[in-house]
Amino acid sequence: MAGLRGAGDVSMSDVTSLTAPEEAKKVEERARNTTAHVIIVGNEKGGAGKSTVAIHLAVALTRMGKKVGMVDLDLRQGTLSKYLNNRKKWCEKFNVTLPNPLVHKIEPSVARHLDEIEADESARWAHAVDTLTEAGCDFIIADSPGSDNYLARTAHGYADTIITPVNDSFVDFALLGEVDPDTFEVSRPSQYSEMVWECRKRKAIFQKKTLDWVVMRNRVAMLDSRNKRRVGDGLKKLSERVGFRLAPGFAERVIYRELFPLGLTLLDLTEHGSTVQFTMSHVAARQELRDLIMLLKFPSLAGQKIQF
């Protein structure tokens, strides 16, 4: 199947041009009505933990027996693609088979004019969703870049769930809305919040479906502090005003940085070949991931025990 491969085979390039308007329209219509649950991990701020969350969620769902497709929307930085490439190399080195999501690679458009580039990118994204759905994926998880761009915005329009990791700091509040630092009254939603609202409205009108927006705290300090509590209180207020659900999220743990070069997730540490010592901190981190999946309430997991 064009553009579809196992994790790590991301250097191959066989993306055909999809700019023929009629073909692109048909693919887009099919993709919009996809049966796969589309999850976009996004915010417009760099380094909040999007790629980390995306890969962990993908591996967890795969380990739970779901078929998961992944799309890297960060064409410039390509962290997710690099992560999956590292995973492939690790598997080859230790002759191990790990549960892997499918990957659909989107190549940057080579068109010269902005409107052509945008049409091309829309078509390529729709093609990715269409192809992964045809391959039988229950979930499609897309990892967004840390800045606003056309491809990521288009992908948000297909989302059933948007997960927005935010660092545990007031600096990240601006991503969600302009707030009074003392009262947390929202004077204005951010551009990102408005974009999510727009997606939600369109989804309700054109697809008669709901869009769930979940903001999760990331890199939460282990120790209780006044700042930690204030950030928590502020996010709670913001969630009511801006319209997202709040997830407790992930604590700050060094392990996440160690995992990237290996291409592993917290769920792979007990596999043959892993030299990372499995500790209580990792057990707690896995529980945080389970809690996140529980909170996300994916319809296809209803009644299923969150186990990996």
Q: Which of 9, 228, 260, 273 binds ligand ATP (CB under 6 A)?
A: 260
Closest distance between ligand ATP and the C-beta of residue 210, in Å? 25
The site partner of 252 among ligand ATP, Mg ion, none (C-beta below 5 to 8 Å per kind) is ligand ATP
51 binds ligand ATP (CB under 6 A): yes
Q: Which is nearer to ligand ATP, 49 or 263 (CB)?
A: 49
Q: Which is nearer to Mg ion, 119 or 142 (CB)?
A: 142
Q: Which is nearer to ligand ATP, 50 or 124 (CB)?
A: 50
Q: Which is nearer to ligand ATP, 1 or 221 (CB)?
A: 221
Q: Which of 43, 62, 79, 218 binds Mg ion (CB under 5 A)?
A: 79
The site partner of 47 among ligand ATP, Mg ion, none (C-beta below 5 to 8 Å per kind) is ligand ATP
Q: What angle do CA 273, 219, 264 make, to 5 degrees?
A: 15
Determine phi and psi for 140, rounding to 5 degrees.
Answer: -125, 120
Q: Which of 51, 154, 161, 164 binds Mg ion (CB under 5 A)?
A: 51
85 binds ligand ATP (CB under 6 A): no
Q: Which is nearer to Mg ion, 18 or 151 (CB)?
A: 151
Q: What is the dihedral of CA 262, 265, 269, 274, to 10 degrees?
A: -10
48 binds ligand ATP (CB under 6 A): yes
Stretch in the footprint of ligand ATP (CB under 6 A) among 11-19, 45-53, 229-237, 265-273? 45-53
217 binds Mg ion (CB under 5 A): no
Using CB atoms, what's the residue nearest to ligand ATP?
146
Site for ligand ATP in 181-220 (CB under 6 A): 218-219
Q: Which is nearer to Mg ion, 51 or 133 (CB)?
A: 51
Give the residues lining the site for ligand ATP (CB under 6 A): 46-52, 74, 77, 79, 145-146, 218-219, 250, 252-253, 256-257, 260
Give the residues lining the site for Mg ion (CB under 5 A): 50-51, 79
